[in-house]
Amino acid sequence: MLNNKFYVTTPIYYPSGRFHIGTAYTTVLADSIKRYHKLKGEDTYMLTGTDEHGQKIQEVAKKNGQTPKEYVDKMANVAKELWAKMDIQYDDYIQTTETRHEKVVQKIFEKFKEQGDIYKGEYEGLYCVPCETYFTQTQLVNGKCPDCGRDVIPMKEEAYFFNMKKYTDKLLKYYEENPDFIKPDYRKNEMINNFIKPGLEDLCVTRTTFDWGIKVPSDPKHVVYVWLDALVNYLSALNYLSDEDDTLMKKYWPADLQIVGKDIARFHLIYWPIFLMALDLPLPKTILVHNWIMMKDGKMSKSKGNVIYPETLLDRYGLDAVRYFLLREMPVAQDGIFSPEQFVERYNFDLCNDLSNLLNRTISMVNKYFDGNVPNYNGTINEVDKELEEFTNKQIDNFEMKLNNYEIANALQEIWTLISRTNKYIDETMPWSLAKEEKTEQLKSVMYHLIENLRKIAILISPFMSSTANKIFKQIGIEKNELKLWYSLKNYDKIENVKTIQKGEPIFMRLNKEEEIAYIQDAMNNK
């Protein structure tokens, strides 16, 4: 049975500075998975946005000589421009300073208070200002914030608390009964061992030390803690508890996939499900926790001069190369390393040698031997063809299996295995000898199979690299609309009497290794 809707979310980003490649990674991941589901005919919905309250934003705005609202609006536009440049097909962009969001946060807060889930107390703890999070002494790492490594300061304030303890057992039971809820699986144990087993602390959900936040209606000297505010975006964007109609909520909740980085896993795997339980709402089907893009010398940081911004790569190498690299090189379950060397290598090997060459060789042979006309399918006329067809179908299955388990890098690897196998098919069948020996039927079959496999490869890569897929469709003379359907992927008789164009530009041109490494390195050092 088809699951016919798919709601995917990214975290909402802090607009406290320029968006780097890590932010782009999460968003490209969500966009690609959404496109895959859309290709399968599902009703998809993708949400992204910006997380605009809190002390840090207030400070940054001040530094920029702007009001917080002016500043966050400007940054939301910066994000939207970047997503447009990266062809991100989100359906809604939420800013937490929008009235539609603020009203819902206030209603939820008061509801929790009325239900007795939120109570008033006093908070004393070690506070990390940039992370806006309190920690206990035992949570600190070398006396510093466990999330960002910076100093923490002792603080005390009157505050409201959410009674997490009330829901701990229910949460553990839910983890147990829903093995797909957390991916990868090891994150579940991490939550249990590091946070739940030692005793889940009640969460402090208001602040009085600054005022750039959503006011608690019944006690307005308090603003709602930025994480409770932020997490609600996934619901407020669907008009949950709003005066607007609830079509979106009915149609799309629960989310099918929520993608988050490892640093914010705790908020999404513990507090978020508990808030949802307190609201009596179903939980998202899967929360996917991805690891980080690291640099050779550790975390990206401005002071180290090792930050890479998406624009540096986009402007020079094009969108698809960047999207491919991010998804292929960053295994979701482990950290990936960005290096200029690896970027150039992947470009030259995977995109140029493997993919672009397969297309060029095929196009030029079909032109040479059949004047650009793709022969019709004649079944499998020998073992080599049969083997190629079986191999291809197996790769398509492998691809889907990996993708459905959100192992994106592995899914891409399955496509590239297919590309290599198809290149090898040329070497095995030696079309040039078949032409010389006038084995026309065999030659026709080889050309057909090559074009057909290119069609399949183009369909498979289209969620990740849509303009490259379109270029391939165009060069092999196929109307994208007719044949893009996912469900025709495994058929081998879909192409009839199409004509390839006479001469296509190579889709990727080999890069000069030294020059390009130096270029990227320079950009990283200078910005």
Residues contributing to the site for ligand MSP (CB under 6 A): 11-14, 22-23, 25-26, 51, 230-231, 233, 260-261, 263-264, 292-293, 300
Nearest approach, Cβ of residue 330 and ligand MSP (Å): 7
Tokens found for residue 209: 């030390």
Nearest approach, Cβ of residue 408 and ligand MSP (Å): 13
Which neighbouring-strand residues pair with 257? 8, 286
Q: Which is nearer to ligand MSP, 230 or 388 (CB)?
A: 230
Q: Which is nearer to ligand MSP, 72 or 459 (CB)?
A: 72
Neighbours of 515 (CB within 10 A): 9
Nearest approach, Cβ of residue 348 and ligand MSP (Å): 24
CB 259 within 8 Å of CB 184: no
How many Cα atoms sit within 13 Å of 28 on the Cβ side?
27
Q: Which is nearer to ligand MSP, 412 or 476 (CB)?
A: 412
Nearest approach, Cβ of residue 23 and ligand MSP (Å): 5
Nearest approach, Cβ of residue 11 and ligand MSP (Å): 4
CA 364 from centroid of its chain's CA atoms: 36
Which neighbouring-strand residues pair with 95? 50
Q: Which is nearer to ligand MSP, 17 or 198 (CB)?
A: 17
| Cα 135 from Cα 138, distance rounded (Å) | 8
CB 396 within 8 Å of CB 453: no
- Alpha-carbon dihedral sign for residues 406, 412, 415, 416: negative
Q: Which is nearer to ligand MSP, 265 or 351 (CB)?
A: 265
Nearest approach, Cβ of residue 165 and ligand MSP (Å): 23
Helix, strand and coil in the chain, % to nearest 5: 55, 15, 35
CA 97 from centroid of its chain's CA atoms: 24
**Given the DSSP bridges, would you call strands 92-95 and 43-50 parallel, antiparallel or unpaired?**
parallel
Tokens found for residue 489: 């992927």
Nearest approach, Cβ of residue 49 and ligand MSP (Å): 9
Q: Which is nearer to ligand MSP, 261 or 284 (CB)?
A: 261
Total length of the chain: 527
Q: Which is nearer to ligand MSP, 307 or 507 (CB)?
A: 307
Q: Which residue's CB atom is positioned nearest to ligand MSP?
A: 261
